């Protein structure tokens, strides 16, 4: 047993024989509830069979300073477990003595309290980089949600907790009462990882898995360090570990928004996104033309919104595909013909509006469930397209993506033919002078789905090849730099420079916890996304429901969104029949976007998010679909730094005045267009508006 002690009163015991952390104490209080294997490795065969070997299945061979050697009949493991100032730096090398492929390596495992702080006898929260950031404080609720821990396997699900997909960054934190444990995978290559947390029999385990990118029989050697750090502080202190690493190891071609000459002028003018279909009203509706077909029928409504909101507007169209809605890869010609779309785009530009289009990512549709006449079985067979699809190890092909809308498969982007099939179709839309294309809807974060094929030229397991090949496919789209691309869920870290305007999904986090602005804290100077269509919004229909979510997007520094119907009414979210009070919606959108265009522009468009100061105010309540009651502050707040100035925004989403208290007086600007301020520690914020204070 080896004892490690740290200056911040953390004490760790490591059983080198079993390779397990058996005790973590903070100020003498035990944090370990279950002894777990420190590492596990999954081996896979060509027939899809697989098995997991944990450190408990190995024999201890030797220790030489910080290097530990373990032996099993299939593999040998060399573990670097090196003490540093605030924790440990960890790396492994695996000698493969078998015929199998090493699929993944899991590190830094141990068992924490099985309950989180909002459960009886629970403690702590999980800071989780899922859908732009989430803070989870009830494990039972997460386990019972539509987004529980799921073992990733083939075929992929969009909701898997995979980086770079719905997981944006390579870290996760356990946050206790004034302390935290940081789990970081500081990989410059940004390869595929499973970053998650799960219930074990007597504990919660943080999951840090690295997909190997290996071939059958090949050894594995980590070319980066995993970090296990113990710190005093909160979520912001945890995020700072990763932020410092990211800023020293930025992705290629990443340019700050303010200096990015390739971005179109509208990006810095903060347009409001209005999204709507031109056929049907919901995703699985009867796909008949609605009142916004022909497309130009929407123009009077767009004009009215732009005038009422005093903002430029982007119309983001759904169900315009001439093939069938959500039926990739084919789109062209648009429903009604290219001439109709061209006419619409021209008219929109004449009125100073923008046009965007949804597309459906790396997929191939055999049969549309929405347009029964759309069937590609003959083409699929005649051209042998099965060879292009993501497959299992034995060549079997399946897909679980958008089953209500289509039957089909997932394209593997490693093959040049797959890349061209997808990119050429999207490139056809470019000729219509579109401003934005959500090219990778359904490919959350921008990455491809799992493929285990041995015939595509990539390793037969997930790995860094996925994001490398996906980026190559994106680069094949023939477009001017001013036409922006995006995906569903904010672009994960390796895709930020290629997907610079994406459809956020923070609203999904209410199923398991509360949104927390991890993405904005790390990446805001480089990318502004938009609020998104808010599909699967789970909050109860309070009068402030919509304004609450708008205000959250605002304080994250993202652009704002409304889902509208063909009568110009605002819906609560996509695929939701409930309508929002239009007067309320227009007020919050206009008032908050005025800050983005006015006095707050440099901070909200270009600034770096920093730790906010405490703001006291009244609470409001929501319920979620599972019956959970949420009591939350009646304001949203965040802070930004731009050059040498620091400010904090406080947004009141309520339909009545909000009184806010600070610990000391601050200069407070009540107007987005005036230099007048008041110096006070108590401020009344009008309904559906915001203030800015100097820090």
Tens digits of per-residue pLDDT, 140-188? 999 999 999 999 999 999 999 999 999 999 999 999 999 999 999 999 9
Look at residue 657 and tell me if it is in a domain. Answer: yes
User: DSSP characters for 664-690?
Assistant: EEEEEE--TT----EEEEEEEE-TTEE
Question: Peptide bond before 130: cis, by omega within 30 degrees of 0?
Answer: no
Decide if 153 is inside a domain: no
Could you identify the residue written with the tokens 């008032």? 591
In a domain? residue 110? no
The CATH number covering residue 640 comes to 2.60.40
- By CB atoms closer than 10 A (0-12, 13-18, 19+), residue 670 is middle
- Do 317 and 273 fall into the same domain? yes
Average pLDDT, the chain: 97
Note whether 322 and 261 are same-domain residues.
yes
Residue 74 CA from chain centroid, whole number? 36
How many structural domains compose the chain?
2
Contact 577, 616 (CB under 8 A): no
Cα dihedral across residues 211, 217, 219, 223: positive or negative: negative
For the segment 623-679, what is each residue's pLDDT rounded down to a tens digit? 998 889 999 999 999 999 999 999 999 999 999 999 999 999 999 999 999 999 999
Is 498 in the same domain as 589?
yes
- 683, 569: one domain: no
Q: What is the pLDDT of residue 192?
A: 98
498 located within any domain: yes
286-330 pLDDT tens trace: 999 999 999 999 999 999 999 999 999 999 999 999 999 999 999
Residue 423 in any domain: the answer is yes
Q: Rounded to an integer, what distance in angstroms lies between the CA atom of residue 596 and that of residue 531?
A: 14
Residues in Cβ contact with 60 at an 8 Å cutoff, skipping those fewer than 6 apart: 16, 17, 18, 19, 68, 69, 70
pLDDT of residue 172: 98
| Cα of 646 vs its chain's centroid, Å | 27
**303: containing domain:** 257-382+415-447+467-505+526-544+555-598
* pLDDT attached to residue 142: 97
Does one domain contain both 580 and 437?
A: yes
Q: Order of strands, edge to edge, in the sheet holding 561-564?
A: 484-487, 436-440, 354-358, 313-318, 272-277, 561-564, 570-571
- Tens digits of residue pLDDT in 383-422: 999 999 999 999 999 999 999 999 999 999 999 999 999 9
Is residue 624 domain-resident?
yes
Question: Do residues 630 and 562 both lie within one domain?
Answer: no
Q: Does residue 211 lie within any of the structural domains? A: no
For residue range 42-88, list pLDDT tens digits in order: 999 999 999 999 999 999 999 999 999 999 999 999 999 999 999 99
Residue range 468-511, pLDDT digits in tens: 999 999 999 999 999 999 999 999 999 999 999 999 999 999 99
Clarify whether residues 538 and 683 are in a common domain: no
Are 430 and 496 found together in one domain? yes
* 540/661 same-domain check: no
What percentage of residues in the chain have a pLDDT greater than 90?
A: 99
Same domain? 533 vs 636: no
pLDDT higher than 90, residue 252: no
Domain with residue 430: its CATH number is 3.20.20.80
Q: Tell whether 673 and 574 lie within a shared domain.
A: no
CA proximity to 83, closest of 152, 144, 156, 5: 5
Name the burial class of residue 530, with classes exposed (0-12), middle (13-18) and buried (19+) by CB atoms within 10 angstroms of its CB. Answer: buried
Could you tell me the pTM of the whole model? 0.97
Judgement on whether residues 497 and 593 belong to the same structural domain of the protein: yes
Within a domain: residue 159?
no
């Amino acid at each position: 047993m080896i004892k490690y002690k740290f200056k911040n009163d953390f004490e760790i015991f490591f059983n080198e024989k079993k390779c397990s952390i058996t005790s973590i104490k903070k100020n003498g209080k035990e944090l370990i509830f279950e002894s777990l294997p420190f590492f596990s490795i999954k081996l896979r065969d060509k027939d899809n069979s697989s098995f997991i070997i944990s450190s408990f299945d190995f024999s201890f061979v030797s220790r030489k300073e910080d290097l530990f050697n373990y032996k099993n009949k299939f593999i040998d493991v060399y573990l670097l477990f090196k003490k540093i100032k605030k924790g440990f730096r960890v790396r492994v090398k695996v000698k493969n003595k078998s015929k199998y492929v090493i699929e993944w390596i899991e590190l830094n495992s141990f068992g924490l309290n099985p309950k989180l702080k909002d459960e009886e006898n629970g403690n702590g929260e999980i800071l989780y980089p899922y859908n732009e950031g989430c803070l989870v404080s009830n494990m039972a609720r997460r386990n019972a949600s539509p987004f529980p821990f799921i073992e990733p396997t083939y075929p992929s699900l969009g909701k898997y907790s995979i980086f770079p997909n719905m997981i944006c960054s390579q870290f996760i934190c356990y946050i206790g009462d004034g302390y935290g444990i940081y789990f970081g995978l500081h990989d410059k290559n940004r390869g595929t990882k499973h970053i998650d947390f799960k219930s074990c029999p007597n504990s919660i385990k943080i999951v840090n898995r690295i997909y190997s990118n290996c071939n059958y029989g090949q050894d594995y050697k980590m070319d980066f360090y995993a970090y296990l750090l113990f710190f005093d502080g909160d979520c912001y202190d945890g995020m700072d570990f990763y932020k410092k690493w990211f800023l020293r190891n930025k992705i290629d071609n990443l340019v700050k928004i303010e200096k990015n000459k390739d971005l179109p002028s509208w990006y810095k003018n903060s347009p409001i996104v209005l999204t709507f279909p031109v056929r049907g009203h919901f995703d699985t509706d009867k796909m008949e033309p609605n009142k916004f077909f022909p497309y130009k029928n929407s123009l009077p409504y767009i004009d009215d919104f732009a005038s009422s909101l005093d903002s430029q507007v982007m119309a983001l169209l759904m169900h315009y595909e001439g093939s069938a809605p959500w039926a990739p890869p084919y789109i062209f010609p648009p429903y009604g013909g290219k001439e109709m779309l061209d006419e619409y785009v021209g008219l929109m530009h004449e009125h100073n509006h923008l046009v965007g289009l949804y597309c459906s990512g790396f997929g191939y549709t055999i049969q549309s469930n929405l347009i029964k006449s759309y069937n590609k079985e003959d083409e699929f067979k005649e051209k042998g397209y099965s060879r292009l699809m993501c497959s299992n190890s034995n060549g079997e092909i399946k897909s679980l993506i958008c089953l209500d809308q289509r039957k089909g498969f997932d394209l593997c982007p490693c093959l040049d033919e797959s890349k061209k099939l997808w990119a050429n179709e999207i490139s056809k839309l470019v000729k219509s002078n579109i401003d934005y294309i959500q090219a990778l809807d359904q490919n959350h974060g921008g990455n491809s789905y799992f493929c285990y094929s041995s015939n595509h030229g990539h390793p037969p397991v997930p790995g860094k090849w996925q994001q490398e090949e996906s980026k190559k496919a994106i680069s094949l789209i023939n477009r001017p730099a001013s036409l922006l691309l995006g995906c569903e869920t904010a672009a994960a870290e390796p895709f930020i420079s290629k997907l610079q305007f994406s459809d956020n999904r923070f609203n999904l986090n209410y199923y398991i916890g509360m949104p927390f602005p991890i993405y904005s804290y790390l990446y805001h100077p480089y990318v502004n996304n938009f609020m998104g269509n808010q599909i699967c919004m789970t909050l109860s229909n309070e009068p402030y429901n919509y304004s609450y979510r708008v205000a959250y997007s605002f304080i994250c520094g993202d652009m704002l969104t409304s889902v509208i119907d063909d009568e110009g009414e605002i819906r609560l979210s996509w695929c939701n029949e409930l309508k929002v009070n239009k007067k309320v919606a227009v007020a919050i959108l206009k008032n908050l976007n005025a800050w983005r265009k006015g006095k707050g522009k440099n901070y909200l468009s270009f600034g770096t998010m920093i730790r906010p100061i405490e703001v006291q105010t009244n609470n409001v309540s929501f319920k979620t679909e599972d019956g959970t009651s949420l009591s939350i502050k009646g304001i949203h707040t965040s802070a930004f730094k731009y050059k040498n100035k620091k400010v904090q925004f406080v947004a009141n989403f309520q339909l009545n005045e909000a009184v806010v208290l600070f610990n000391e007086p601050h200069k407070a600007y009540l107007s987005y267009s005036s230099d007048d301020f008041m110096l006070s520690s108590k401020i009344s914020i009008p309904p559906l508006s915001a203030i800015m204070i100097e820090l």
